[in-house]
A and B are shown apart, each in its own frame.
Chain A
Amino acid sequence: MKSREQEYKEIFIAEALEYYDSLNRHISELEKQPQDDRILAEIFRLLHNLKANAKAIGYLQISDISHKLETAFSLIRNKELNFSDEVVTVLFDGIDMLGDLITNVDNPVPVEPDPVLLRNLDIIVDSLSDSAIELAKIQKYSSSKNLSLSDLIYIQIKKLDHMLNLVGELIIDRDRIISLSRELNNDDLKVVSSHLYRITEELQYSVMDARLVNIGTLFNKFPRIVRDIASAEQKDIYLKIIGQDIQIDRNILQIITDSLLHLVRNAITHGIELPKEREKANKPRAGSLVLSARNERDNVIIKLEDDGRGIDLKQVRKTAVRNKLVAPDIAEDLPDSEVLSFLFEPGFSTAKEVTEFSGRGVGLDVVKNAIDSIGGRLHIDSISGEGTTFAMQLPTSIAVKGALLFEVDSIFYAIPLIHTEQVIALDKDELHEVGDVMVADLKGETVTVVYLNELLNADEATINLGDKTRLQGQIQNIVVVSYNNRKLGLIVDKLYRQQDIVVKPLNKPLDKIDLYGGVTLLGTGKVCLVLDVPAITRYFIHRR
């Protein structure tokens, strides 16, 4: 694999060459129409970008010459320098020099800019319209230039989407072929299909890799945004950005863009206090905001931490009770993590007290939904007076997901691994009927357990989720899922393996049924339903 640095360098060279080509085109046009301000402005822009890019990556010669040329053109723009033949020649030479430097960036023997040319550039810039000073002739070293095309291409994300979909289809067919070759027990077929397996796997990773972008492309927009919001709110914010180099699927980044902006805005306007208040609370005047990304197994974790006032859990409890999300007596005993999850309830945001006192909850359900839609998870942590942390756990790729396969009432289901906490087998006696649900003790934590067959298949009129007698067999396989800081155990009939699946979205008109995140085809050709954990949790709560 190429190093990140090498990749940056290649991108720089490709862009720089493109600038170089445009510069050549524009300056040739300018020679014909020296009065055209638009062309001049474009040349100016190109040189300016080239200068900035070169400086950022450390090619000082390129940025230096760009700077000189930029100055020359600014003089021309201000009519302080005539676009005369002599000047034109020097400018053309300068641009050729740029091209030469760019193409030789990778050359182990560095190309030095021609000192005569540098002097000529200085002369036209410094001497203004005084043409008395002789411009020295320079050697034309670029007359026999090679034409070359860029090593990088731009591609529409749509085309990559299409490719990824095709790869998904291919993987489904591959699994089918492998399963058939096992059934037929033909050696040739087995060899071919195992080769097919490797090829498709490599293809899948190549396409996924082609879609990756640096998180920095999004993160680097925030210093400016934070500055603007902070100055409007009259707050002092110190923003720290970590992990710009982490890579993620471009579409996933696109989907979370608005959510991240929303969270940042919330953190500044509501989370972090005014400088005066902070001083009173013995905190530094400037609030700290840390935006970080890191890899964790197959996922990317994006975190936003502030050291503001935190979320007022009392208010959240009160509002939850008032919005009838929970009974008053239960609200008092709920663990903090569950209380925080109320913030993601739609409509919770409209509660005035929350926005006034703790300031969170504005449209958090929208953020939650965006993250749910790509199969990610949102976690929230807050300590009163010390700050709040939002953590998004995101898949690196959309199409292929690790999932757990199981069976309920002879139907195959899958749950994406991102939502599963653990799998456990318990004896029926370890399940307890409490009220109208079952609970189990998992390592000291009491977790609600649901018999999926009952939840999915029982007649809605007679459904009873607290009746142990409806369970079959003595040992119960439980998939513990977690959503919104809340754990839920799902009892399944048969547990199968873990497997990478390609989730196909449901077609109309079934796409509106939110219990299912999609379907996938198993190697056997059978359809497997992908359960949507957020929806199944909501359905369960609604049921109760």
Chain B
Amino acid sequence: MAKQKKEEAIAPEENINTLPVPATNGNTVAEQSKAQEVVKEENVHLIVFKLGDEHYAIKIDQVKEVTLTPIITRMPRTPDFVQGVANIRGDIIAIVDLEKRFNIRPAAVTEGLNPNVTYTLVIEAKDYSIGVVVKEVPQSLNLSMSRIDRAPSFLQDTNIKENYIEGIAKVDNRLIIVLDMLRILSSDEIKQLTGK
């Protein structure tokens, strides 16, 4: 029954292909893309999701799968942004909340969206996986590399460390912040967890 909800939640938009939340490794993601207008230029395939009111994106090769968020077991005495651990296909992985991690104000609950249904992007780093929870269905986006501004000047003013951000893409009227998840999960950042 959860599947139906997924379909409903998808809001197709120009230039952004909806992502029919694949149950397994992003095969369906790869199938998509009728992006014929972008030719011969080097393309980048992104998974776009919302944190707070803004759009963020991760390169698809860093995403192992997108799934409905499974039951999360809270782990007491871990940092705020660690929601807990969940059993995803027999692997027990940490689930984190990037809104909490970066102090992003959560968006007001959108009407028609069940706040109890969230999605988890399973991010694959070198030797482990981690889950990132998002509230709306992540979407897939194909665009040419040249449309990502790699060094926007505002970066030094934000509290998201600059090397977490690969660049900024402007698609239509939207600003999409492209994150480098592997950097976010790098060992420096993990030390946060052991701060206690």
Contacts and interface: CB of A to CB of B under 8 A. Distances in A.
A520 to B, nearest CB: 9
B127 interface: yes
Interface in A327-344: none
A507 B76 contact: no
A528 B85 CA distance: 10
Contacts of B194: 512-513
Contact of B91 (A507, A513, A529): A507
Interface in A503-520: 504, 506-510, 512-513, 515-516, 519
Contacts of A529: 73, 75, 85
A519 B128 CA distance: 16
Q: Interface residues of B: mostly helix, strand, loop or mixed? A: mixed
Interface string B67-85: 0000101111110001001
A169 B90 CA distance: 8
Contact of A512 (B73, B93, B190): B190
A456 interface: yes
Interface residues of A, number: 26
Contacts of B129: 507
B190 A526 contact: no
A213 B129 CA distance: 35
A60 interface: no
Interface in A386-430: 409, 411-412
Interface in B71-129: 71, 73-78, 82, 85-87, 90-94, 125, 127-129
Contacts, number: 67
Interface string B174-196: 00000000000100001001100
Contacts of A172: 90
A444 B125 CA distance: 54
Contacts of A173: 90
Contacts of A506: 85, 92
A521 B75 contact: no
A521 B73 contact: no
Residue from A173, A507, A508, A539 with most neighbouring chain B CB atoms (10 Å)? A508
A504 B190 contact: no
Interface residues of B, number: 25
A510 B91 contact: no
Given A504-B92, A521-B92, A527-B92, A510 B87 contact: no
B130 interface: yes
Interface in B25-59: none
Nearest to A458: B76
A521 B90 CA distance: 8
A529 to B, nearest CB: 6
A507 B77 contact: no
Contact of A509 (B74, B75, B190): B190
B75 to A, nearest CB: 6
Nearest to A508: B128
Contacts of A186: none
A12 B23 CA distance: 55
A508 B190 contact: yes
A123 B127 CA distance: 67
A510 B85 contact: yes
A516 B90 contact: no
A411 B94 contact: no
B75 A525 contact: no
A509 B90 contact: no
B78 A513 contact: yes
A402 B129 CA distance: 29
B75 A516 contact: yes
Contacts of B75: 510, 513, 516, 529
A510 B78 contact: yes
A457 interface: yes
Contacts of A539: 77
Contacts of B93: 507
Contact of B76 (A456, A509, A519): A456
A526 B73 contact: yes
A509 B73 contact: no
Contacts of B190: 508-509, 512
Interface in A90-113: none
Nearest to B125: A508
Contacts of A508: 125, 127-128, 190
A525 B85 CA distance: 13
Contacts of B128: 507-509
A507 B193 contact: no
Contact of B130 (A409, A509, A515): A509
B51 to A, nearest CB: 19
Contact of A525 (B74, B87, B130): B87
Nearest to B82: A510
A527 B193 contact: no
Contacts of B74: 411
B188 to A, nearest CB: 11
A507 B92 contact: yes
B92 to A, nearest CB: 5
Given A508-B127, A512-B190, A513-B75, A519 B90 contact: no
Contacts of A412: 73
Given A411-B76, A507-B93, A526-B73, 20 more contacts: A172-B90, A173-B90, A456-B76, A506-B92, A508-B127, A509-B185, A509-B190, A510-B75, A510-B78, A510-B82, A513-B77, A515-B76, A515-B77, A516-B75, A519-B92, A521-B92, A525-B87, A527-B85, A527-B86, A527-B87
29 contacts: A169-B90, A172-B90, A412-B73, A456-B77, A504-B92, A506-B85, A507-B94, A507-B128, A509-B185, A509-B190, A510-B75, A510-B78, A510-B94, A512-B194, A513-B75, A513-B78, A515-B76, A519-B85, A521-B87, A521-B92, A525-B87, A526-B71, A526-B73, A526-B87, A527-B71, A527-B73, A527-B87, A527-B92, A529-B75
Interface of B: 71, 73-78, 82, 85-87, 90-94, 125, 127-130, 185, 190, 193-194
Interface of A: 169, 172-173, 409, 411-412, 456-457, 504, 506-510, 512-513, 515-516, 519, 521, 525-529, 539
